[in-house]
């Protein structure tokens, strides 16, 4: 016998009432508690530092090196203490980019992607394997960058430096794989996407430090209010675009055998094609790619005495690095904008092809009114998807460069470092929160509770 639904309190907001309803369900309560517990474990690991770290020099390096600031975001603020999870899930993200680029080009991987659950599991396993050497290489690269910034010392593979360096790299690589495993546990037993929640937890943990950084710049009350208005506008736009969708009407016709006779029944539904189907993935991918040129250029400047090599490295850092002086260069903002748009289309179209919507509609007796089933339906949905994805791609590109436009918009705001990737962080936070709310919504709807979203 089903338990009667508790009447919502008239004094409680609808969101809070839905949270209370979710917490009263034992299985949903376990999922929520498990997710929170795993995030606590992640934050605890982020405070376990690698030995022999100068915290003062490390803080200065993170403030003055935009490349390390990028890496710090993707590590979930784990680089603040140079912890054993300082690499975060960034090597896994890089491995995912490589696998998604290779899948359409290699026949073996393309065949695996069409083999259903088994193929997806194999591709996921290959991604895990690829993340290990990438974590090893990135760990060594980060240690070299920090050594050049005088945050640490004794990095190398000669003499007495080899064992401590190897130990630190192995620890950081193990920390990355531990976070990936933690994220998969959250996805399997908790609520939401585990990898996204790891990044989400790091961003939220860094929010308390953002306000003091802004206040310390002495930019004036008007500039602070202007930044607040811009931030609220970006937040409202993100929520609006994240929820915007184009509904493609679908009709279903099926035969039902009843009382010895065959009856034809029809029903109506729709395919919700989102304006931003890719979510925050394109921004993460784009920033993962855009940091490689300045990282290589920094090595060119620090590790060689050849003048022309140093000149090339300085040119790349000045024009294609996160900042040029106090503001980002137009070349850097343009590269970010273009990469975000490219990855938006790439990720959206890859996911669309894997779903096989037209084929699944035809198998279930569904069709788009006025469009023939099969290939014409797939081409029609593709045309609609491409058109609405243009709006989503341009929006994501604008969101990515908003923090670097602030010095040009807000008079007196001379440094974007305190807001570095803030709009991207907002998009990740909003996307993760909405995705988690939808999963809780589904859990509540199965139990006849009123959910979060009307």
Q: In angstroms, what CA-CA distances link 39 with 27, 174, 407?
A: 19, 18, 35
Q: Is residue 345 part of a domain?
A: yes
Q: Is residue 453 part of a domain?
A: no
Residues 104 and 145 in one domain: yes
Q: Is residue 320 part of a domain?
A: yes
Cβ atoms of 194 and 185 within 8 Å: the answer is yes
Interval 60-65 mean pLDDT? 71
Range of the domain at 23: 12-216
User: Of 163, 182, 216, which one is at a domain's C-terminal end?
Assistant: 216
What b/e string do you get for 324-339 counting C-beta neighbours within 10 Å, with b at 16 or more?
beebbbeebbebbbeb
Residues 197 and 306 in one domain: no
Residues 303 and 185 in one domain: no
CA-based torsion, 149, 150, 155, 156: positive or negative: positive
Residues 247 and 202 in one domain: no
Strands (E), 278-396: 366-367
Interval 70-85 mean pLDDT? 71
Residue-averaged pLDDT of the chain: 76
Interval 347-372 mean pLDDT? 78
Nearest CA among 214, 220, 218 for reference residue 417: 214
User: Of 158, 182, 216, which one is at a domain's C-terminal end?
Assistant: 216
Tokens of 77: 């603020």
Summarised one tens digit per residue, pLDDT across range 152-174 is 777 777 777 788 888 888 988 99
Residues 29 and 146 in one domain: yes
- 158 φ/ψ sector (left φ>0, alpha ψ -120 to 50, else beta): beta
Q: Is residue 6 part of a domain?
A: no
Q: Is residue 245 part of a domain?
A: yes
Higher pLDDT among residues 445 and 144, named by residue? 144
3 state DSSP class of 144? helix
User: Of 216, 234, 254, which one is at a domain's C-terminal end?
Assistant: 216
Q: Above 50 in pLDDT, residue 65?
A: yes
Half-sphere exposure of 88 (CA within 13 A, CB side): 30
Residues 157 and 256 in one domain: no
Higher pLDDT among residues 264 and 4, named by residue? 264
* The pLDDT of residue 324: 46
Interval 183-192 mean pLDDT? 86
27 membership: H or E segment, kind and range: helix 26-45
Q: Above 80 in pLDDT, residue 448?
A: no
Q: Above 50 in pLDDT, residue 191?
A: yes
Which of these ranges, 75-84, 154-163, 219-228, 379-388, has the smallest mean pLDDT?
219-228
Q: Above 50 in pLDDT, residue 3?
A: no
DSSP classification of residue 434: H
Residues 313 and 233 in one domain: yes
Summarised one tens digit per residue, pLDDT across range 100-135 is 778 878 888 888 877 777 888 888 899 999 999 999
Residues 192 and 225 in one domain: no
Q: Is residue 168 part of a domain?
A: yes
* The pLDDT of residue 418: 47
Q: Is residue 312 part of a domain?
A: yes
Number of domains in the chain: 2
Q: Above 60 in pLDDT, residue 287?
A: yes
Residues 398 and 308 in one domain: yes
Summarised one tens digit per residue, pLDDT across range 295-334 is 777 777 766 777 787 788 777 777 776 654 445 677 888 8
* The pLDDT of residue 260: 56
Interval 167-189 mean pLDDT? 90
Residues 31 and 90 in one domain: yes
Q: What share of the chain is helix, strand, coil (3-state, %, to 5)?
A: 70, 5, 25
Interval 337-358 mean pLDDT? 83
Q: Which residues contact 237 (CB under 8 A, 6 or more apart)?
A: 395, 399
Summarised one tens digit per residue, pLDDT across range 195-246 is 888 888 877 777 666 666 666 666 566 666 777 777 787 778 888 887 888 8
In the chain, % of residues over pLDDT 70: 74
Q: Above 90 in pLDDT, residue 427?
A: no
Residues 55 and 180 in one domain: yes
Residues 282 and 378 in one domain: yes
Q: Is residue 422 part of a domain?
A: no
Which of these ranges, 26-40, 150-164, 326-340, 435-449, has the smallest mean pLDDT?
435-449
Question: 261-274 and 366-367 as β-strands: parallel, antiparallel, unpaired?
Answer: unpaired
Q: Which residues contact 445 (CB under 8 A, 6 or more apart)?
A: 451
What is the domain-level CATH number for residue 43? 1.10.3370.10
Nearest CA among 237, 287, 223 for reference residue 426: 237
* The pLDDT of residue 7: 43
* The pLDDT of residue 302: 67
């Amino acid at each position: 016998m089903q338990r009667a639904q508790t009447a919502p309190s008239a004094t409680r907001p609808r969101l809070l009432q839905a949270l209370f309803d979710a917490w009263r369900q034992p299985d949903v309560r376990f999922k929520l508690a498990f997710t929170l517990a795993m995030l606590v474990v992640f934050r605890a690991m982020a405070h376990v530092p690698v030995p022999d770290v100068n915290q003062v020099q490390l803080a200065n390096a993170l403030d003055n090196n935009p490349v390390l600031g990028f890496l710090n975001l993707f590590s979930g603020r784990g680089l603040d203490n140079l912890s054993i999870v300082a690499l975060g899930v960034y090597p896994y993200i890089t491995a995912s980019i490589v696998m998604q680029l290779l899948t359409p080009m290699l026949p073996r991987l393309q065949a695996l992607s069409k083999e259903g659950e088994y193929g997806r599991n194999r591709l996921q396993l290959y991604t895990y394997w690829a993340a290990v050497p990438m974590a090893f290489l990135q760990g060594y690269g980060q240690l070299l960058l920090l050594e050049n910034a005088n945050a640490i010392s004794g990095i190398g593979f000669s003499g007495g430096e080899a064992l401590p360096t190897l130990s630190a790299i192995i620890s950081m690589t193990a920390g990355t794989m531990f976070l990936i495993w933690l994220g998969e546990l959250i996805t399997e037993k908790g609520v939401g996407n585990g990898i996204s929640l790891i990044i989400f937890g790091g961003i939220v943990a860094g929010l308390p430090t953002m306000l003091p950084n802004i206040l310390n710049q002495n930019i004036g009350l008007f500039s602070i209010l202007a930044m607040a208005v811009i931030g609220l506008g970006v937040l409202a736009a993100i929520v609006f675009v994240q929820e915007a969708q184009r509904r493609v009407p679908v009709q279903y016709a099926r035969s039902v055998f009843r009382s010895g006779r065959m009856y034809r029944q029809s029903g109506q539904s729709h395919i919700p094609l989102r304006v931003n189907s890719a979510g925050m993935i394109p921004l993460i991918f784009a920033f993962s790619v855009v940091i490689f040129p300045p990282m290589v250029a920094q090595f060119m400047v620090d590790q060689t005495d050849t003048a022309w090599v140093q000149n090339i490295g300085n040119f790349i850092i000045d024009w294609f690095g996160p900042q040029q002086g106090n503001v980002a260069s137009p070349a850097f903002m343009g590269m970010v904008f273009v990469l975000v748009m490219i990855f938006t289309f790439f990720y959206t179209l890859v996911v669309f092809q894997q779903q096989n919507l037209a084929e699944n509609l035809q198998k279930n007796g569904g069709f788009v009114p006025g469009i023939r089933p099969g290939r014409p339906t797939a081409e029609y949905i593709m045309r609609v998807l491409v058109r609405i994805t243009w709006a989503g791609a341009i929006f994501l590109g604008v969101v990515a460069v908003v923090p670097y436009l602030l010095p040009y918009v807000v008079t007196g705001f001379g440094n974007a470092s305190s807001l570095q990737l803030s709009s991207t962080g907002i998009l990740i936070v909003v996307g993760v929160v909405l995705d988690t709310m939808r999963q809780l919504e589904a859990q509540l709807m199965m139990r006849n509770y009123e959910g979060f979203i009307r």
